[in-house]
Amino acid sequence: MSNQASNQATIKVGTQVPNKLANKVSIKQVSSAKAFDGLHQQYTHDSTSTNCNMHFAIYLPPGASTEHPVPVLYWLSGLTCTDENFMQKAGALKYAAQCGMAIVAPDTSPRGDAVADDPAYDFGQGAGFYVNATQAPYKQHYQMYDYVVDELPALIEANFPVSSTKSISGHSMGGHGALMIALRNPHAYVCASAFSPIVNPLQCPWGQKAFNGYLGTNDIQDSAGWAQYDTCALMQQAQPEQYIPMLVSQGEDDSFLDEQLLTANLAAVAAHKEYPIKIEWLSGYDHSYYFISSFIEHHIGFHWQKMHQGKLSKNCD
């Protein structure tokens, strides 16, 4: 083991200068495993946003320390997933280690016996859609937008050797979350990317079901309506000074493409707005982690390049 890797293995949570959140919130480590000379760890904590215990995973690359904090890629997973799917299946940790990038993967919803649920796979626990619910019984816990945008980054920056430089990515429902959150917070993220994202939930069955349940009947005149969580609607309203680089990879053999993902709608809006997004149409690929693992190196490189404004290490070229 190199000295750099050895130092990484002894990093303790909470070694950074604490902020007001760190003084209030304690986190509990539930697992730790060495991977590519870095550490993959899972934690739980009581969330003030979701009013329940939340899980997240973090990968810290070798060499991360309070003296050498690393940038963070936030990954949002899709329907039925937890913090584990991406970390275990995507093959991203190798490239994050090479680049010196942390990855944080939250759960996809609040969970627990006291948290409202639904028997369907596409609503309730495991399907939070990264919105702030306004309808009972979901509004008590389903505040995933606030959790991902505000609470989780503050907790990560207070307790781990990371910098404030961050980007965001995701898959399917998580791709929706990543693009939507980046469009609403363009100064918080250096870039965003997505695999097979739900880009126009206003117009697809998955989105309509989730938004109706979490947000109630849509009122297009209401600033708190569904459009605030729709990537196409948000991009249509974006101003050039709010543009950030984006990358979307979409498999052409994805069985959800025409009914649920509606990627062509995003392409049309992006062309009209001259938005700096690259949409890649990839022949023969479907919606699975086989697809994600085939192109995750490309996405990690995209994020690292934007994090460092083109100053890319040779390992990430």
Whether 254 is a known active-site residue: answer yes
Whether 172 is a known active-site residue: answer yes
Residue with tokens 């993959």: 40
CA 293/CA 108 separation, integer angstroms: 20
Catalytic residue among 40, 141, 176, 287: 287
Catalytic residue among 169, 254, 299, 303: 254
Catalytic residue among 172, 193, 196, 249: 172
Cβ atoms of 252 and 281 within 8 Å: the answer is yes
- Residues 6 or more apart in contact with residue 174 via CB below 8 angstroms: 75, 76, 77, 78, 81, 108, 130, 194, 197
> Mapped to the 3 state alphabet, what secondary structure does 283-316 carry?
CCCCCCHHHHHHHHHHHHHHHHHHHCCCCCCHHH
Instruction: Give the helix ranges, DSSP H, for the chain.
Output: 3-9, 20-24, 84-89, 93-99, 144-146, 152-159, 173-184, 205-215, 231-237, 263-273, 289-307
Catalogue the active-site residues. Answer: 172, 254, 287
